[in-house]
Amino acid sequence: MNDKIFKAGTFQFDVKLGDIKSNLAKVVEGLHILGDRDVDMAVLPEMWSCGFDNQMLLDHAKQTPSIIDKLSRTASKYNMIIAGSLPEASGKDIFNTIYVVDSNGNIAGSYRKIHLFPLTEEDRYFSAGNRAVVCNTSICPIGLMICYDLRFPELCRSITLKGALVVIISAQWPIDRIRHWDILSQARAIENQIFIIATNRCGKEKGIEFGGHSQIISPTGEILSMAEEGECASATEINLYKITEFRNKIPCLKDKG
């Protein structure tokens, strides 16, 4: 088991609907703050470039490759892994896809959201992914999840069994259900004995207020970092040996049957 120690960070902000220029500028600012804090892995919210601007998704998705190029340069500059969800165009399909850019600027992996949220008709505008993903990075294997995925423990368990030591979650989770966000994030960490890095957006859109509460959670459920409701860049140290330590003490994964 890996015994690496590194610094992880979250950057939550108010995603402006359809305004890629503004959102990208805000993310560059946030990553600069985290870079100055020597953060090794940064996680951004769900659909951070444009929000759920559903009528214009294809146009926004066409800009995703250039956005990833920008992230690649930033990742290389700060020697930082950067992850967050963006619209992806593939043929006639649009996916809600989380990309992981490694610290050398290369794409380490990507994951298409499997569970599309019916309450906001996400399934009308996006196609669903069909594959759980763990990507190898310069720090450790990382599992990927997006927002509504958090409510499906079997997905997090599957990527844990595939070798993920850290699971990152990008989200746009409303404040009305923020208690669920907190509890489920902690549960996924505890039941799988992994680190969770979960970044939610803040702000308001179309009458919905988003809850923030971006957080980093240890395998024992300890909240190592917690943002409040507004714009916030947070960081904390992660010691991967804690996974070995806790799994040796309480061998849930060995005893799962």
**119-176: per-residue pLDDT in tens?**
999 999 999 999 999 999 999 999 999 999 999 999 999 999 999 999 999 999 999 9
Provide the pLDDT for residue 5: 97
* DSSP letter (8 states) at residue 231: S
Q: What is the pLDDT of residue 75?
A: 98
> Which one of the listed residues 113, 140, 156, 232 is annotated catalytic?
113
Contact 235, 5 (CB under 8 A): no
Examine the residue annotation and report whether 113 is marked as an active-site residue of this protein.
yes
Q: In this predicted structure, what is the pLDDT of residue 1?
A: 47
**pLDDT tens, position by position, 27-50:** 999 999 999 999 999 999 999 999
Task: Report yes or no: 15 and 205 within 8 Å, Cβ to Cβ.
Answer: yes
The residues with which 219 forms a beta bridge, in sequence order, are none
Contacts with 98 (C-beta within 8 Å, 6 or more apart), sequence order = 46, 83, 84, 85, 86, 110, 111, 113, 144, 145, 146, 168, 170
The torsion angle over the Cα atoms of residues 215, 221, 224 and 226, rounded to 10 degrees, is 30
Question: What CATH architecture is 5-249?
Answer: 4-Layer Sandwich (3.60)
Report the percentage of the chain scoring pLDDT > 90.
Answer: 95
- pLDDT for residue 60: 98
Find where tokens 């290369």 sit.
106
Residues 6+ apart with CB under 8 A from 21: none
Quick one: 230 exposed, middle or buried, by C-beta within 10 A (0-12, 13-18, 19+)? Answer: exposed
Q: Please report, for the chain, the start and end positions of each structural domain, with discontinuous segments joined by +.
A: 5-249
Catalytic (active site) residue 46: yes
Given a cut of 90, whether residue 255 has pLDDT beyond it is no
Band of pLDDT at residue 206, cut at 50, 70 and 90: confident
Options 50, 135, 140, 147, the catalytic residue = 147
Question: Which of the following is catalytic: 46, 50, 88, 202?
Answer: 46
